[in-house]
Amino acid sequence: MNAKQAIKVENLVKNFGKGDSFVEVINGASFEVNKGELVALVAPSGAGKTTLLMMIGCVEEPTNGTIWLGEEKIYDNKWLTKETRKIRREKIGFIFQAHYLIPFLNILENITLVPQTNGVSEEESKKIAFELLKYFEIEDKAYAMTSELSGGQNQRAAIARALANKPQIILADEPTAALDSKRSVDVVKMLKKIAIEQDVAVIMVTHDEAMLPLCDRILKIENKQVVSSKIVKDKVIL
């Protein structure tokens, strides 16, 4: 097995419904994503991008297929563990279009909530949180409420929260959709920096073609399967 491999998917299938309501969303997707990569996931609306992300993130159960996260096979036509919630907490960081920060907690409390849920002490959780806030240049907002931050600052805080459990994988579902073009570029560059410096795999769902040259590779859902495209010198090679 490739030591850099963070995600491996083989022949993944996802169907919804039965009879007249049967819908085939993903049919036989196979791909790998390595640590240190920022990979864009693109497809038309309704083609299964979020569904694919949620299957990798142990939120949505596939119909069949195989999923590895790192060296651990977690799904082989069924979940191989009952601890999918634990896998999400310990291995995966989620970032969404909306920041989903808890409005009645300050920024520091939002970030420390994740490691404390995983059993990390309050002191160590705060240390992790302040390191992340400094990394994202919003340490002066530690005790601010979400309503006091701009959209871009809240998204940075949400990314910091996603990193607080030191995940191997970050799954970002349209993280720039609510931001203007400059802030969108800043967020994607930040995700790229995280992938390299933290040695994590980042999959980012996006509709914004302007963000694609900032990524290492593109996964496209075509005909219910996943096709990989390379990026060379800021150009997409199909």
pLDDT in tens, 22-62: 989 999 899 999 999 999 999 888 888 999 999 999 999 99
Q: Which residues are CB-neighbours of 204 under 8 A, at least 6 positions away?
A: 38, 39, 40, 41, 172, 175, 188, 191, 211, 215
Which pLDDT tens digit goes with each residue over 161-197? 998 988 999 999 988 887 788 878 888 888 998 899 9
Q: Which helix (H) or strand (E) holds 184?
A: helix 181-197
Asked if the model's pLDDT at residue 232 lies above 70, the reply is no
Q: Is the pLDDT of residue 231 over 60?
A: no
Q: Per-residue confidence at 3, pLDDT binned at 50, 70, 90?
A: confident
Long-range contacts of 21-25 (CB under 8 A, 24+ apart): 24/224, 25/51, 25/224
**The predicted structure's pLDDT at residue 238:** 45
pLDDT at res. 126: 94
Q: Could you tell me which residue, 108 or 47, shows the higher pLDDT?
A: 108
pLDDT at 234: 53
SS3 category, 18: coil
β-strands 201-205, 217-222 pairing = unpaired
Of residues 230 and 159, the one with the higher pLDDT is: 159
- Give residues with Cβ within 8 angstroms of 153, minimum separation 6: 138, 141
Domain 36-61+80-233 sits in CATH at 3.40.50.300
Q: Give the chain's mean pLDDT.
A: 89
Average pLDDT over residues 209-214: 89
Q: Could you tell me what percent of the chain has a pLDDT over 70?
A: 96
Beta-carbon-side half-sphere exposure of residue 215 (alpha carbons within 13 Å):
27
Per-domain residue ranges of the chain: 36-61+80-233
Determine the Cα–Cα distance for residues 199 and 34; give it in Å rounded to an integer.
9
What CA–CA distance (Å, rounded) separates 120 from 111?
12
What is the model's pTM?
0.87
Mean pLDDT calculated for residue range 200-218: 91
Rounded alpha-carbon distances, angstroms, from residue 207 to 1, 29, 225:
32, 20, 18
Nearest Cα neighbor of 170 from 159, 178, 182, 180 is 159
Q: What is the pLDDT of residue 34?
A: 94
pLDDT confidence of residue 235: 53
CB 41 within 8 A of CB 204: yes
